[in-house]
Amino acid sequence: GFGERKAKAERMFSLMDGFLKNDPFSLQKDILHHVEYTMARSRFSFDDYEAYQALAHSVRDRLIERWHDTHIYFKKTKSKRLYFLSLEFLMGRSLSNSVINLGIQDQYAEALNQLGFEFEVLAEQEGDASLGNGGLARFSACQMDSLATLDYPAWGYGLRYEYGLFRQIIVDGFQHEQPDYWLNFGNPWEIERIHVTYEVKFNGTVEEVDMNGEKVKVWIPGETVEAVAYDNPIPGYGTKNTINLRLWAAKPSNQFDLEAYNTGDYINSIVNRQNTEAISNVLYPDDRSHQGKEMRLKQQYFFVSASLQDIIRRFKEAHNNFDELPEQVALHLNDTHPSLSIAEIMRILVDEEHLGWSKAWNIVNKIFSFTTHTVVAEGLEKIPVDLLGSLLPRHLQILYEINSNFMEELKKKIGLDYNRLSRMSIIEEGAVKSIRMANLSIVCSHTVNGVSKVHSNTLKTKTFKDFYELWPEKFQYTTNGVTQRRWIVVSNPSLCALLSKWLGTEAWIRNADLLTGLRDHVDNTSFRHEWKMVKRLNKMRLAEYIETMSGVKVSLDAMFDVQVKRIHEYKRQLLNIFGIIHRYDCLKNMDKNDRRKVVPRVCIIGGKAAPGYEIAKKIIKLCHAVAEKVNNDADIGDLLKLVFIPDYNVSVAELVIPGADLSQHISTAGHEASGTGSMKFLMNGCLLLATADGSTVEIIEELGSDNLFLFGAKVEEVAELREKGGALKVPLQFARVLRMVRDGYFGDKDYFQSLCDTVEVGNDFYLLGSDFGSYLEAQAAADKAFVEPDKWIKMSILSAAASGRFSSDRTIREYAERTWKIDPCQCPF
């Protein structure tokens, strides 16, 4: 009985000596225990890496304790769960973040000191978990941190890629990609659940069979792969709650062996095993086009099927009626990548649970919400019908049925407007008949979220206009955010201390709105002085990194001007580089006296180009070519430096962002759905030079347009400018810079011609030419502000003070209350 079980559990708990203790002495004991028994190294001889591993394992133990209690509590309270489905999570490193969120940072620092190690040094041993491409994936990671911190009963689901995003190395100015085999040395942050496995099936045929007089469809699959769970505990800050990010890895199923045994083809069966394992092998490195790749589709279904089996199993453990599903389960589609979930859950409810179509449909359309991270229709995901039909024949039938029901309903509402019907159809007719994953997600979700106000307007008036007119109430927006735990507390400890000192509390770490309190101190000279010192310290850290990475020595008095993000034409790194060339050209043409009045700059650019994206790769090369010339010009000296930071990732960002004076977010208006980098810079008191695009528009609302450097065409002006084509006005300076590149002033003349073509008048889709004049003005305004340090520091403080609204805590709370309808559920200590 219950009493007996309880007594047994209590005895075991006392054998364990209760919970792990967090005083420095106990921590030392635990670390050494892991050196000896986990790493199997002698306590007399272990290096930094082994010390890091032992340290990480001791943290992991503490995470596991909380993880257990949290999940037992969730189960006990039967609270509604959110399942956050995403194919990408850019977690970065875990050590510092975990220790901080557990609230035992100081104890660990002391423990390590007594053992003769330094926490920061060991933390550097950790590699990044780069299971994602860019903003979308880092945003998922920030959301997980906020879900845990705000005590929401949530699970994340994703794929455990063996190769994360490629490592970027630069040879001779060219990007090369190297595999990121990140699990090589083991991963202390995951818990392998060898017993949590599900079979995922592919291919085969669908047959109709008679079941109690009723005809039902049965999928007879051809291939089976096993999904194994790997759990990654995500600790909240200032709470015991530790939620789970469950990532799936593919393992060959045992069914294979049986078949091979029967046919006697042993060797081939081993080869096949390796093919199936390939499903979770590698992250696709293109951050926006996944068109028509079979392996990518397999990944999507593999992930969806395993996750839903897990979710349904958990639901059935506690409930026996599927009518309760919408009150118990919220499924969130992070972009269209997991949207096969819709067909899969219909298949489970109809084919396996025999609920009947209409009952199943009534349940399914109440549980999904969808966030789209894309702006332009061409960026939306499509899956060729043939591909889907051969890989998932039953799912294709289900998708057709969903669509035909939808089309019928639609005809009743809008009549026989065939153009509109065909635009809204889930199936796209044409040369390659395809499934439109966004249409599917919209039709089947109760809420469609944009990621910023501007983005949402674009969705309503352009991308999904037809759907908005049909279901205006479905369309919402929730502006993105970033977690201040990672982006201030972990990455900028000196600023963190300063904030707590002047705000008189650490409460801002859980409530970023309190940052507005900084406004009260902006006129205080000693506060401003301390603020300035913190920035200088972070610039020093960054300067050291730049010197080791590129050999370039930079002056701390210069303005550190940063643009770090994926390389894309729409993000306009080329505009930045052209601005730098222009600056260089001006400096060259000045006499010595005038040069002395120029504000020295260190221009820092970083980011990866998708391996197949030629133009983006040329932009990287041009950046290096310009850097080579400028940095070695004795006339210029410290007045202008250009450095490209290779292999930009989360941990590089943690170093670069706190050290920036100015950062650029200069996409052509209407192209950046939100942008989250800007929010991280803002929090770190970095001034923005930006276009009114994505969430910058909302940043302006909080900060006031006087406190940042705004330029460029507005969203509503872009279409008109484009129409002008060859008649568009472009400043002379732009033509001159373009000429310099074309003429081979920076070498590689032939190589750069096609890059220059993309911004030639008449062909300049992203409007670099027409925005160049106002870009230079904004840059001049930044220079002017920089020579008034008091003014600059004030703007810097006001930037951080305005950043509270851009905490992912606000984002998550909005989603929880409005979209997911879930309540916090805090596990008692």
Q: Kindly list the residues in this chain that would bind ligand GL4 in the complex (CB under 6 A).
A: 134-136, 139, 287-288, 373-374, 451, 480, 672-676, 694
Pick the closer one to ligand GL4 by CB: 135 or 153.
135
CB of 372 to ligand GL4, least distance (A): 9
Q: Which is nearer to ligand GL4, 334 or 779 (CB)?
A: 334
Q: Which of 290, 566, 572, 618 is catalytic?
A: 566
Angle at 42 between CA 39 and CA 44, to 5 degrees: 135
Q: Give the shortest CB-141-to-ligand GL4 separation in angstroms.
A: 11
Tell me which of 93, 436, 565, 624 is the catalytic residue: 565
**Tokens representing residue 501 in the block:** 């000192």
Q: Identify whether 33 is a catalytic site residue.
A: no
Q: Encoding tokens for residue 16?
A: 């364990």
Residue 439 structure tokens: 């249409």
Least Å from the CB of residue 546 to ligand GL4: 25
* Minimum distance of ligand GL4 from residue 675's CB (angstroms): 5
CB of 674 to ligand GL4, least distance (A): 4
Nearer to ligand GL4, 287 or 344 (CB): 287
Is residue 571 annotated as a catalytic residue, yes or no? Answer: yes
C-beta separation of 208 from 216 below 8 A: yes
CB of residue 453 vs ligand GL4: minimum separation in angstroms? 13
Shortest distance in whole angstroms from residue 371 CB to ligand GL4: 7
Give the nearer residue to ligand GL4 in terms of CB position, either 100 or 767. Answer: 767
* Under 8 Å between Cβ of 692 and 455: no
- Cβ atoms of 556 and 539 within 8 Å: the answer is yes
- Residue 323 C-beta: closest distance to ligand GL4, Å: 34
Q: Is 597 a catalytic residue?
A: no
In one-letter notation, the amino acid at residue 655 is L
Return the structure tokens found at 333. Answer: 């589609």
266-274: list long-range contacts, CB under 8 Å, 24+ apart. Answer: none
Q: At closest approach, how far in Å is the CB of 709 from ligand GL4?
A: 20
374 or 779: CB nearest ligand GL4: 374
Helices (H), 661-764: 677-683, 696-703, 715-724, 732-742, 749-757
> Cβ closer to ligand GL4: 674 or 707?
674
Of the residues 676, 691, 696, 819, only one is catalytic, namely: 676
What does the alpha-carbon distance between residue 734 and residue 664 come to, in Å, rounded to a whole number? 19
How many H helices and E strands in the chain? 34, 24
Q: What token pair was written down for 160?
A: 């455990």
Residue nearest to ligand GL4 (CB): 135
- Closest to 740 (Cα-Cα) out of 552, 513, 586, 593: 586
For 100, 583, 636, 677, 802, the CA distances from 665, given in Å and listed in that order, are 30, 19, 26, 8, 17
Closest to ligand GL4 by CB, 441 vs 631, is 441
Look up 583 and say whether it is catalytic.
no
When the beta carbons of 187 and 676 are compared against ligand GL4, the nearer one is: 676
Residue of 34, 201, 288, 571 with catalytic role: 571
Which residue in 611, 530, 526 sits closest to 567, CA to CA? Answer: 611
Q: Which amino acid is at 144?
A: M
Separation between Cα atoms, residue 605 and residue 677, nearest integer Å: 13
Minimum distance between the CB of residue 136 and ligand GL4, rounded to whole angstroms?
4
Identify which of 723, 722, 692, 732 has the alpha carbon closest to the alpha carbon of residue 708.
Answer: 692
Of 66, 201, 373, 539, the catalytic one is: 373
269 burial class (0-12, 13-18, 19+ CB within 10 angstroms)? middle
379 burial (CB, 10 Å; 0-12 / 13-18 / 19+) is middle
Closest approach of ligand GL4 to the CB of residue 479, in Å: 10
Q: Report CA torsion sign: 535, 538, 544, 549.
A: negative
Of these residues, 680, 794, 805, 810, which one is catalytic? 680
Helical residues (DSSP H) of 103-158, grouped into ranges: 105-115, 119-123, 135-149
* HEC string for 554-616: CCCCCEEEEEECCCCCCCCHHHHHHHHHHHHHHHHCCCHHHHCCCCCEEEEEECCCCCCCHHH
In 638-731, alpha helices (H):
650-656, 677-683, 696-703, 715-724
Give the residue with the Cβ less far from ligand GL4, 380 or 793: 380
Dihedral of alpha carbons 474, 479, 480, 481, sign: negative
The dihedral built from the CA positions of residue 334, 338, 339 and 344, taken in this order, carries a sign that is negative
Pick 554 or 700: Cβ nearer ligand GL4: 700
Provide, rounded to whole angstroms, the least separation between the CB of residue 289 and ligand GL4.
9
Shortest spacing between CB 474 and ligand GL4, in angstroms:
19
Nearer to ligand GL4, 253 or 695 (CB): 695
Angstrom distance (rounded) from CA 566 to CA 406: 38
Q: Known catalytic residue: 568? A: no
End-to-end CA separation in angstroms for the chain: 26
Integer Cα distance of 532 and 518 in angstroms: 14
Q: Check: CB of residue 486 under 8 Å from CB of residue 149.
A: no
Closer by beta carbon to ligand GL4, 375 or else 427 = 375
Residue 140 or 434 with smaller CB distance to ligand GL4:
140
Residue for token pair 């060797």: 267
Question: Which sequence positions are flagged as catalytic?
Answer: 373, 565-566, 571, 676, 680
